Amino acid sequence: MRTGGSTKGTTVVWGDYGLRMRDHDRRIAAKQLQIAADAIKMRLRGQRYRLYTRVCANIGVYTSGNEVRMGKGKGSFDYWAARVAVSRVLFELKGDLHEQIVRDAFRLAGNKLPGLYEFVRKGDPPVMGITKVEAGTTLEEMQRPKLKLPMDLTASRIPATTPP
């Protein structure tokens, strides 16, 4: 199983709570990120908090129409998007709020975004790929190639094609 190679951006840095992507890499439109941020703001209306957005929509997406022949240029600009890697924190929240209220706000935001998301706290372990790097697990162990089994052990695990 590939683990990726970086734990950068997988932990909460500025806030107390965060929303982290759980499944594979995605391209998220700026409009989707804005709708998710608005969902968080609507749920926390009247509270004192600070919302940090950890991803930036800096990829321009260009499209050409259907049934357009090959060539003839790149196409016209359509929208801005962000490439979000697996296990990346999208939003962080800091403030004197109850954890269940923040969980509910992040649940609403995760429902507005494509993919699966999880709630994280400050101090949770970093993640490499989809594997949590906890006590006893080191980055070197995860990046090390798997050991090859000796041929006799491999052969003994394969069932015989003819009965003995």
Q: Residue 150: pLDDT band by 50, 70, 90 thresholds? A: low
CA–CA distance, 88 with 116 (Å, rounded to integer): 12
pLDDT for 112-132, tens place per residue? 999 999 999 999 988 877 777
DSSP state of 31: H
Terminal Cα-to-Cα distance of the chain (whole angstroms): 35
Regarding pTM above 0.85, the answer is no
Task: Evaluate if residue 155 carries a pLDDT over 80.
Answer: no
Q: What percent of the chain has pLDDT over 70?
A: 79
pLDDT for 43-88, tens place per residue? 999 999 999 999 999 999 999 888 888 888 888 999 999 999 988 9
According to the model, what pLDDT value does residue 6 have? 76
Residue 26: both structure tokens together: 């995605």
pLDDT for 78-98, tens place per residue? 999 999 998 899 999 999 999
Instruction: Provide the pairing of β-strand 131-132 with 76-84.
Output: unpaired
Q: What is the arrangement of strands in the sheet containing 26-29, beginning at the earlier edge strand?
A: 26-29, 76-84, 59-63
Spell out the alpha helix ranges (H) of the chain: 30-43, 99-112, 139-143, 151-157
Task: Evaluate if residue 133 carries a pLDDT over 80.
Answer: no
